[in-house]
């Protein structure tokens, strides 16, 4: 196991009855709030009214940044910075899924820099301080509620890129599983696939000696496999929604990647699909992951993939370890397709072969020439994985 520092200071307020703490938590940091949210789900669910009532009762001044898109766009960050500056706000409350939280993180850092927010994403500028952020999570998926990063899209340049700063780690996050009851089947499935992908990106590493972290990762994967289908069939099942919600935070908050090198593989490939075709992140990950595992299956990786099958899906170990590994991959594909009802080809989400080459080139370029994950993937390797996913 490698040396590491693990320090995630986000305060989690989990459960049905945590909104009573909202005003107190905000007042630890500020009193003039930017309330950021997406396309309106929080209005339909009644959460918006609840928040406004709390603001009014507690004399909390607020302005709104609304309409943040899924695959959030840099343009919304520009608008957010403008609202913050015009109103001298000192705190951001991000209410939504990963898109709203990610965009809010960029706004929190950009407000202190005299540059376009996109400069931060392309690393021309660096966040040196940020406004404090709190979140109310409405969709379990990205883990943005308990990590320091975000992913922003620039439609003009067809880029979707990650950024991160220790300063943008949320100060607190309210996680009420009941709020996720209204998440539709598609986004429930995509969220579960995203949580599993974060876990697998951290799990599929070679000879790292991080035995404990890998067993924890298997626990998170089994949690998703057990409760994902239950949440699909019974959207208001509290046990399922709460387990999935807590899994989302722990898949990516840094615990699983402690003590090992975990450069990610599937996310850089998926981000190009979302950048070029604006597809749902988790769906893209589900489509690519079994093809990625099949592509990298060789003498070096077979034990790792076989362990995954045996420990997560209960594949019976046999003399033929390659066959066991193939069964593991088939189980994963079947889980996404049959249990989570995810369309498992690029064609089904509107992606044909026309831009595969361009996307493969971009995925390699955005990762510094090649994706240096558990197995190095050059442009041609990425292209093969895309083609196998058509």
Shortest separation between residue 294's beta carbon and ligand NZQ, angstroms: 22
Asked if residue 232 binds ligand NZQ (CB under 6 A), the reply is: no
User: Coil, strand or helix: which one is 151?
Assistant: strand
Asked if residue 38 binds ligand NZQ (CB under 6 A), the reply is: yes
> Could you tell me the CA-to-CA distances from 148 to 30, 80, 344, 385 in Å, in that order?
20, 19, 30, 29
- Rg from Cα positions in the chain: 20
Asked if residue 139 binds ligand NZQ (CB under 6 A), the reply is: yes
Asked if residue 202 binds ligand NZQ (CB under 6 A), the reply is: no
Q: Choose the stretch contacting ligand NZQ; rule: CB under 6 A; options: 21-29, 75-83, 176-184, 356-364.
A: 176-184
Applying CB under 6 A, among 25, 79, 147, 272 the residue interacting with ligand NZQ is: 147
Angle at 2 between CA 220 and CA 247, to 5 degrees: 15
Pick the closest to residue 10 from 132, 170, 249 (CA basis).
170
Q: Choose the stretch contacting ligand NZQ; rule: CB under 6 A; options: 83-91, 99-107, 347-355, 364-372.
A: 99-107
Q: Choose the stretch contacting ligand NZQ; rule: CB under 6 A; options: 18-26, 84-92, 144-152, 358-366.
A: 144-152
31 binds, among Zn ion, ligand NZQ, none (CB under 5 to 8 A by kind): none
User: What is the H or E stretch that residue 43 is in?
Assistant: helix 41-44
Asked if residue 138 binds ligand NZQ (CB under 6 A), the reply is: yes
- Tokens encoding 4: 């590491």
> Could you tell me the CA-to-CA distances from 234 to 180, 182, 313 in Å, in that order?
12, 11, 23
Q: Are 139 and 187 in contact (CB under 8 A)?
A: yes
Applying CB under 6 A, among 104, 142, 159, 265 the residue interacting with ligand NZQ is: 142
Interface residues for Zn ion in 214-253 (CB under 5 A)? none
Per-residue mark of binding to Zn ion, 186-215 (x: CB under 5 A) = --------x---------------------
Calpha distance 361→87 (Å, rounded): 43
111 binds, among ligand NZQ, Zn ion, none (CB under 5 to 8 A by kind): none
Helical packing angle, 266-277 and 356-366, nearest 10°: 130
Calpha distance 68→274 (Å, rounded): 16
**Residue 102 or 194 having the CB closest to Zn ion:** 194
> Token pair 């595969």 is at which residue?
356
Calpha distance 50→59 (Å, rounded): 14
Asked if residue 191 binds ligand NZQ (CB under 6 A), the reply is: yes
Using CB positions, name the residue nearest to ligand NZQ: 38
Asked if residue 98 binds ligand NZQ (CB under 6 A), the reply is: yes
**Residue 102 or 324 having the CB closest to Zn ion:** 102
Interface residues for ligand NZQ in 328-387 (CB under 6 A)? none
Helical packing angle, 266-277 and 185-203, nearest 10°: 150
Shortest separation between residue 201's beta carbon and Zn ion, angstroms: 8
95 binds, among ligand NZQ, Zn ion, none (CB under 5 to 8 A by kind): none
- Tokens encoding 20: 């009573």
**Residue 144: Cβ-neighbour burial (10 angstroms; 0-12, 13-18, 19+):** buried
191 binds, among Zn ion, ligand NZQ, none (CB under 5 to 8 A by kind): ligand NZQ
Pick the closest to residue 181 from 135, 131, 144, 231 (CA basis).
231
> Could you tell me the CA-to-CA distances from 138 to 20, 176, 251, 363 in Å, in that order?
17, 8, 17, 30
Shortest separation between residue 44's beta carbon and ligand NZQ, angstroms: 7
Residues contacting ligand NZQ: total by CB under 6 A = 35
Shortest separation between residue 335's beta carbon and Zn ion, angstroms: 17
Which stretches of the chain bind Zn ion, using CB under 5 A? 194
Which stretches of the chain bind ligand NZQ, using CB under 6 A? 38-42, 45, 70-71, 96-100, 102, 138-139, 141-144, 147, 149-151, 179-180, 182-183, 187, 191, 194, 252, 267, 281-282
């Amino acid at each position: 196991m490698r040396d590491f520092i693990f320090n995630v200071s986000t305060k989690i307020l989990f459960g049905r009855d945590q909104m009573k703490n909202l005003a107190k938590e905000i007042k630890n940091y500020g009193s003039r709030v930017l309330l950021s949210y997406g396309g309106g789900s929080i209005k339909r669910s009644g959460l918006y009214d609840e928040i406004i009532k709390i603001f009014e009762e507690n004399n909390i001044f607020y302005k709104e940044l609304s309409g943040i898109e899924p695959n959030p766009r840099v343009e919304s960050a520009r608008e957010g910075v403008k609202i913050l500056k015009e109103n001298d706000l000192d705190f951001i409350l991000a209410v939504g899924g990963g898109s709203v939280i990610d965009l809010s993180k960029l706004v929190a850092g950009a407000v202190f820099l005299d540059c376009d927010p996109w400069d931060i994403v392309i690393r021309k500028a660096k966040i040196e301080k940020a406004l404090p952020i709190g979140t109310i999570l409405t969709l379990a998926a990205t883990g943005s509620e308990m990590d320091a990063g975000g992913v922003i899209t620039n439609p003009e340049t067809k880029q979707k890129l990650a950024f991160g700063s220790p300063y943008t780690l949320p100060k607190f996050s309210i996680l009420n599983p009941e709020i996720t009851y209204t998440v539709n089947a598609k986004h429930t499935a995509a969220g579960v696939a995203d949580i599993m992908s974060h876990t697998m990106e951290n799990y599929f590493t070679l000879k790292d000696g991080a035995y404990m972290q890998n067993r924890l990762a298997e626990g998170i994967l089994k949690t998703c496999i057990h409760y994902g289908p239950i949440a699909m069939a019974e959207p208001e099942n509290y046990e399922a929604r709460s387990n999935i919600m807590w899994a989302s935070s722990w898949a990516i908050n840094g615990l699983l990647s402690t003590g090992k090198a975990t450069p990610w593989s599937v996310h850089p490939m998926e981000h190009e699909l979302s950048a070029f075709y604006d597809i749902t992140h988790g769906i893209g990950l589900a489509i690519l992951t079994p093809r990625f595992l099949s592509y990298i299956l060789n003498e070096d990786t077979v034990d790792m993939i076989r362990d995954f099958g045996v420990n997560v899906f209960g594949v019976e170990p046999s003399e033929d370890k390659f066959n066991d590994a193939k069964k593991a991959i088939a189980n994963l594909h079947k889980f996404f397709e049959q249990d989570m009802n995810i369309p498992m080809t690029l064609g089904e989400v509107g992606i044909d072969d026309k831009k595969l080459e361009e996307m493969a080139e971009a995925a390699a370029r955005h990762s510094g020439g090649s994706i240096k994950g558990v197995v190095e993937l050059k442009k041609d390797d990425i292209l093969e994985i895309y083609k196998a996913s058509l």
